Amino acid sequence: MSYLQNPATIVPSTVTPPRGRIALVGAGPGAADHLTLRAVRCLGQADVIYYDRLVEPEVLAFARPGAACIFVGKEVGAHSWPQARIDATIVAAALQGKRVVRLKSGDPSVFGRAAEEIAAARAHGIDIEIIPGVTAASAAAASLCQPLTQRGVTDRVVLATATCCTGEMPSQIGEIARPGTSLVFYMAMTQLRALSDQLIAAGVAPDQPVTVATNVSRANERSLTTTVAQLWQDCEAAKVRNPAVILIELAKPPEPQPGGISFAAQSASAAAVSAS
């Protein structure tokens, strides 16, 4: 029997302690002052905190004295903490009666594998909650002072991953790359050339502006503005690396004015009359 099927075997016990609970807490993209008050309170009550690779040390300072802080981070190609092991570990701690915090960068509900951890907790009758955090798209927009939506320009926001569970890109980029959309791609830095190709194939102009924001809200935060066609070359030249998000504003075409005359045509007509 695997540790996922019976998490209590990780720490065997001869007594049955009261059941604890699990909170999936969003730490935001970096800066500790992005934490919500609810997240701070939960960290201050936890018996054990299992935290991700991108969680800043300043965030862990909100843990109560005596709480165990255990690193369970994963990196590409280095999975000493595969998801199944994390699921089993947090469940085992809760079965011992502990108040468990699973601390994730960003928001647990946005590409945070929350679904697996919720399913593992519920399979063992453990109470679990999500405490939302500031996701990287919102933090990047705030840092750049660049709204994710603009009236008359963009009326929808799409948060997409550029790396599926198979390691490949989603194939239906054309379905989301529509005018009037603010596109934000997560986990895209290893897929930049393919992302550029698919966007152009979907009808996005090669000279469409793109902003890449990396290490958002951290001391080493930086951003790069480029185009869809030059995305991967410019990121490579500037040595832009993860963690990063890619923001693309696909503006709506200007709406024609009443009578079928555009504002630009009206302006040109008025200028011609003035000149005569």
CA nearest 4: which of 71, 79, 83?
A: 83
pTM of the model: 0.82
Residue 123: predicted pLDDT:
97
Q: Is the pLDDT of residue 265 over 70?
A: no
Residue 18: predicted pLDDT:
75
Q: How confident is the model at residue 5 (pLDDT cuts 50, 70, 90)?
A: low
Q: What percent of the chain has pLDDT over 70?
A: 82
- d(Cα 271, Cα 256) in Å, to the nearest integer? 19
Q: Is the pLDDT of residue 33 over 80?
A: yes
Residue 205 neighbours by CB under 8 Å, 6+ apart: 228
Least confident piece of the model among 107-116, 182-191, 260-269 = 260-269
- d(Cα 136, Cα 148) in Å, to the nearest integer? 12
Give all strands of the β-sheet with 21-26 in edge-to-edge order: 68-71, 48-51, 99-104, 21-26, 127-131
- Can you tell me the mean pLDDT for 264-271? 51
* pLDDT tens-place string over residues 47-97: 999 999 999 999 999 999 999 999 998 765 556 789 999 999 999 999 999
Residue 80: predicted pLDDT:
74
Q: Which residue has the higher pLDDT, 4 or 205?
A: 205
- Can you tell me the mean pLDDT for 6-13? 58
DSSP 162: S
Residue 162: predicted pLDDT:
83
Q: At what angle do helices 114-123 and 83-95 cross, to 10 degrees?
A: 40
Phi-psi region of 77 (alpha: psi -120 to 50; beta: other; left: phi over 0): left
Q: Is the pLDDT of residue 100 over 90?
A: yes
- Can you tell me the mean pLDDT for 161-172? 67
* pLDDT tens-place string over residues 168-203: 666 678 899 999 999 999 999 999 999 999 999 999
Q: Which pair of tokens denotes residue 232?
A: 């991967």
Q: Which residue has the higher pLDDT, 4 or 233?
A: 233
Give the residue numbers annotated as catalytic, written as ranges.
52, 74
